[in-house]
Amino acid sequence: MLRRALRQSGEELPRPHPDEHDERRHTAPDNEASERRHLRAAYQHGEEQVPRTKFQLAIEARAERRLIGNCGVRLAAPGSRVADVGYELAPDEWGHGYATEAARAIVAFGFDTLGLHRVAATCVADNAAAAHILEELGLRRVGHLREVAHYKGRWWDELVYGILEDEWRTRR
């Protein structure tokens, strides 16, 4: 289930990133506390924007009412109908299909609620699970950016995906 992230001010946010040795992440977080501060600031920034361009939502395991990750849709500019999406789960929660469910919900939110025309997503080429999820949802691979980012001592390729509103509706 997706919901507003900052519903309860004292609520513990899930640790969204794998440990710092996981090379699929762009940045190695300094520590858990600063990571949570960053995430909370990102949530707050989105919620306070007028007009709003960033919709960063929490992913909650419905049965236990437990926060397990976050996902978001970001408009290219205020009022734009073009946006990109992203999602991440706490590592303990991987492999149960939650990310697929959340990604589907955030794309649907973009088309159904925000009235988007196009949704895009980018993932590190080595991140096979993230790419698999995007393809499962019907996003088409529209680009392979070779060695576009440098971090953790090496260059990384990224994959670019996109889907148009009519393609999304046809798949449903």
In whole angstroms, give the CA distance from residue 76 to residue 79.
8
- Residue 26 sits in the site that holds ligand COA (CB under 6 A): no
CB nearer to ligand COA: give 84 or 111.
84
Q: Taking the complex as a whole, how short is the minimal distance between the CB of residue 50 and ligand COA, in angstroms?
A: 27
Q: In three state form, how does the secondary structure of the chain look? A: CEEECCCCCCCCCCCCCCCCCCCCCCCCCCCHHHHHHHHHHHHHHHHHCCCCCEEEEEEEECCCCEEEEEEEEEECCCCCCEEEEEEEECHHHCCCCHHHHHHHHHHHHHHHHCCCCEEEEEEECCCHHHHHHHHHCCCEEEEEEEEEEEECCEEEEEEEEEEEHHHHHHHC
| Residue 98 touches ligand COA, criterion: CB under 6 A | yes
Size of interface with ligand COA, in residues (CB under 6 A): 21
80 binds ligand COA (CB under 6 A): no
Please pick, from the candidates 51, 97, 115, 153, the single residue that binds ligand COA as defined by CB under 6 A: 97
Contact between 67 and ligand COA per CB under 6 A: no
106 lines the binding site for ligand COA (CB under 6 A): no
| Window 117-156: residues binding ligand COA (CB under 6 A) | 121, 123, 127-130, 132-133, 136
Residue 2, interface with ligand COA (CB under 6 A)? no
Quick one: 86 or 138, whose CB is closer to ligand COA? 86
- The residues binding ligand COA (CB under 6 A) are 24, 86-89, 94-100, 121, 123, 127-130, 132-133, 136
